[in-house]
Amino acid sequence: MDTEKLMGSLACEVQGVEVLRDEPMSGHTTFKIGGPADLFCIPRDTEALCELLKWTRAEGIPALVIGGGSNLLVRDRGIRGAVISTARLTAMSQREDGEVQAECGVPLARLAAYARDLGLCGLEFAQGIPGSVGGGIYMNAGAYGGEIKNLVTETDAVTPSGELVTVRGEDHRFGYRESCFTCSGAVVLRTRLRLLPGDRAAIAAQMEEYRERRRRMQPLESPSAGSTFKRPTGFYAGKLIEETGLKGLTVGGACVSEKHAGFLINKGGATARDVLELIEEVRSAVLREHGVLLEPEIKVVGEE
Ligand SMILES: Cc1cc2nc3c(=O)[nH]c(=O)nc-3n(C[C@H](O)[C@H](O)[C@H](O)COP(=O)(O)OP(=O)(O)OC[C@H]3O[C@@H](n4cnc5c(N)ncnc54)[C@H](O)[C@@H]3O)c2cc1C
């Protein structure tokens, strides 16, 4: 791919997009792992994002939209084509009907704090999830009994063919760590959430309790992508891994956290290959010991 030529064409045809060439993805993922993206694009608003998607389609360039990079493992060879970061799409507001509207790049933690300051409850669970609204909807992010699916009323999105659509209610098809966006390839632009009035101090206290619980239970001091595996029906992945005696198991720089066995962490210098090998070791050992096949929750992307 002639990235220099493509950058020239992009600069001429699409306004309002900053583009970096051969940008290491390790700087854009919470795992701190990942080879270079050919083109790393940062649109300044949703119009520029839509224009950029149109351009990648016309040029036949694969495009991956990312938010906080907190559920991604990017392979060591990096990503061919364009990675589009939503980091600057961070407008949020309260509408006249009381609903809160947020663009896809708003960090979930910032949205939760915004709701708290407005005295609206429902998003307390989200304050410690290091993802964005777009990633949160795509994954149906959830914690401590709360899920984004309980709050979202409507989402504006752009389909792979470039059509602007509004997804409503049940049509989001939210499930465990999935939504209609997981397989459709549509990109979330903004969403609207219905929250309930609550007591600001009580909301703040609940958020603080969750924050403390995370600090106590999760290896937040090490880079990771959160829980590596989905929760198998009737079990907890972390508990199965711990009972199999895998805490501390290491491949290169990747390690099963001693603090929470459901988290694979980057102890320093881990490659994607280390993590992928460790994932396979953990899966085989848990299958042997418990007869349960763990499915990764993290999304593995990039050139094999
Ligand atoms: C320490 C830690 C704790 C965590 N705790 C939790 C938790 O409690 N609960 C939980 O659910 N998750 C948790 N996670 C995982 C992660 O934060 C969530 O999955 C989050 O929703 C991912 O959002 P993101 O913006 O980082 O998405 P990314 O990692 O950037 O992307 C994930 C997927 O979403 C897609 N995507 C991103 N933005 C858009 C968009 N605008 N439109 C369409 N698709 C998009 C990407 O293409 C990719 O396939 C944790 C992660 C870490 C590191």
Q: Is 297 designated active site? A: yes
> Which CATH number applies to 92-202: 2.30.30.100, 3.40.50.2000, 3.30.465.10, 3.50.50.60?
3.30.465.10
Q: Record the tokens describing residue 57, joined without a space.
A: 């389609």
Cβ(302) to ligand 1 under 6 A? no
According to the model, what pLDDT value does residue 87 have?
98
Output the CA 105–ligand 1 centroid distance in Å. Answer: 11
Output the CA 5–ligand 1 centroid distance in Å. Answer: 32
- What are 160-182's pLDDT values in tens digits? 999 999 999 999 999 999 999 99
Q: Is 227 designated active site? A: yes
Q: Record the tokens describing residue 118, joined without a space.
A: 């407005």
Calculate the alpha carbon distances from 79 to 113, 259, 294 in Å: 33, 32, 26
Q: Is 23 designated active site? A: no
Question: Where in the sequence of the chain do the CATH 3.30.43.10 domains occur?
Answer: 3-85
Cβ(187) to ligand 1 under 6 A? yes
According to the model, what pLDDT value does residue 245 have?
98
Q: What is the best residue among 71, 132, 221 to mutate for testing ligand 1's pocket, by most ligand atoms within 8 Å of CB?
A: 71
Q: Write out the CATH class of domain 3-85.
A: alpha beta
Q: Record the tokens describing residue 93, joined without a space.
A: 């507001």
Instruction: Name residues whose C-beta falls within 8 Å of residue 66's C-beta, 6 or more positions apart in sequence.
Output: 28, 72, 83, 84, 85, 86, 135
What is the reported pTM?
0.97
According to the model, what pLDDT value does residue 1 have?
73
Q: How far apart are CA 7 and CA 106, in angstroms?
A: 27
According to the model, what pLDDT value does residue 8 have?
87
Question: Where in the sequence of the chain do the CATH 3.30.465.10 domains occur?
Answer: 92-202
DSSP 71: S
Provide the H-helix boundaries in 218-291. 237-243, 272-290
Which entry of 75, 116, 177, 192 is annotated as an active-site residue?
177
According to the model, what pLDDT value does residue 121 have?
97
Q: Which residues of the chain have pLDDT under 70?
A: none
Question: Where in the sequence of the chain do the CATH 3.90.78.10 domains occur?
Answer: 219-301
Helix (H) or strand (E) holding 250: strand 250-251
Kind of pairing, strands 250-251 and 17-24? Answer: unpaired
Mean pLDDT for all residues in the chain: 97
Q: What is the best residue among 56, 138, 207, 301 to mutate for testing ligand 1's pocket, by most ligand atoms within 8 Å of CB?
A: 138
Q: How many C-beta neighbours within 10 Å does residue 245 have? A: 12
Nearest alpha carbon, ligand 1 atom 48 = 66
Q: Write out the CATH class of domain 219-301.
A: alpha beta
